[in-house]
Structure 1
Amino acid sequence: MRIRFACLTALLLSGIALPAGAEKVPGALPPDAAPPATPPPPAAPTRQGRLDQLFTELKRERNEKAAERIAGRIWNEWNQSGSASIDLMMQWAQKATENQKFDVALDFLDQVVTLQPDYAEGWNRRATVHFMMKNYGKSMADIDRTLQLEPRHFGALSGLAQIMTETGHKQSALEAWQKVLAIYPMMRSAQNQVSTLSEELAGEGI
């Protein structure tokens, strides 16, 4: 009897003879409990989210070269239409513009803005071609559409400032360049233009 009692005591102490669930291990899950759900990975930032972050960095940056790199990344985002056919037409338009075949470039860009009217860079590129052809009214109309789609488009604002200068509207040109600097403080050309126009307007008694 003593031997049997000793064996039973040893089994109880070791846990081997205990029925399932009779003894709980600290931190252990019940047999029927599901493991905790793994949190999903964070979502990749959207294009708009990336642009918002880049514009924040651009406004904060005080090193000219670093700001230029940020601006380049913004241009890369702007250039992405999300459509292979639109991208191809943009490339053809760019090549035609470089070869001063402006009518050909406009044909491609007309198709771009028709097929994808919410693509701001298509309107901006067509505004640039109209500007090079000195079609200032048409260029301004396309700039206006660009800025409706992307109010922070410092390229379009720069184009507007140049048209105002070309047409003798110095005050409007100054205001456009100031808007550029509010978005991209380290743009050297905008800084120079603000300085020059401010001096000229002061000299004219304005």
Structure 2
Amino acid sequence: MVRFIFAVAVAPLLFATPLWADGCPTAPDHSDRLDALIAQVQAAGSDAEARDLSNRMWALWADAPDEPSQAMLDQGMSRRSSYDYLGALKAFDRLVDYCPHYAEGYNQRAFVNYLRHDFAAALPDLDKAIELSPKHVAAIAGRALTLLGLNRIDEARAELDRALALNPWLSERGLAAPGGPLAPPGEDI
């Protein structure tokens, strides 16, 4: 009888927050809010307005599925900020192992590898982040930078164009300006 009462009481809680086989709950669905922010940044009238909207996008991407995953994300970002790249990689490895369906774990691990100039290691993580979050503007821009680091200029240009279509105010837009390394062919100085 006690088991039955426990099962009846606990069952709704188990189904209220879906868990992946790895134990990590599903990441919060911020797609509607992200779409609204993208529309707003495309219509932004100033760099300051766009920067505020971009920061709001980052808040959505950095909203981890649960407290343990948030702690891993925060630890990795803190270690990265203090140039402890190996410590950051370990934190992001744990995050990706725990939450393989959370895009930001892959994006942050890719960023650390990008900072280490290990572009070949960054690229698969960026691909996975974009697969999980197709409008992750920062991951798309990061993929453009990574492809540039690999000297895959045409692919980098296409990725940057894709990122700029979502957010025309990205700081990376200068790379596509005349004279920039990703300027359209024939528009060099």
- TM-score, normalised via structure 1 length: 0.70
Gaps of 5+ in 1: 1-45
When structure 1 is superposed on structure 2, of 69-78 and 56-65 the one drifting more is 56-65
Q: Could you say which residue in structure 1 is the equivalent of 2:149? A: 166
Q: Could you say which residue in structure 1 is the equivalent of 2:59? A: 76
Q: Could you say which residue in structure 1 is the equivalent of 2:164? A: 181
Q: Which runs of structure 2 are paired with 1:1-206 in the superposition (5 Å)?
A: 47-187=30-170, 189-195=171-177, 196-197=180-181, 199=183, 201-202=185-186
Structure 1 segments of 4 or more deviating over 6 A?
A: none
SS in 2 for 1:62: coil
Work out the CA distance in 1 between the residues paired with 2:184 and 2:59: 35
C-alpha RMSD of matched pairs (Å): 1.9
SS in 2 for 1:202: coil
What is the CA distance between 1:199 and its match in structure 2?
5.0
**Per-residue Cα deviation, 1:68-126 (whole angstroms, up to 9, x for no partner):** 11111111011001311111111211122122222211111111111111111111000
Work out the CA distance in 2 between the residues paired with 1:126 and 1:181: 22
Give the greater-gyration-radius structure (CA). 1
SS in 1 for 2:135: coil
What is the CA distance between 1:63 and its match in structure 2?
2.1
* Count of aligned positions: 158
How many percent identity over aligned positions? 22
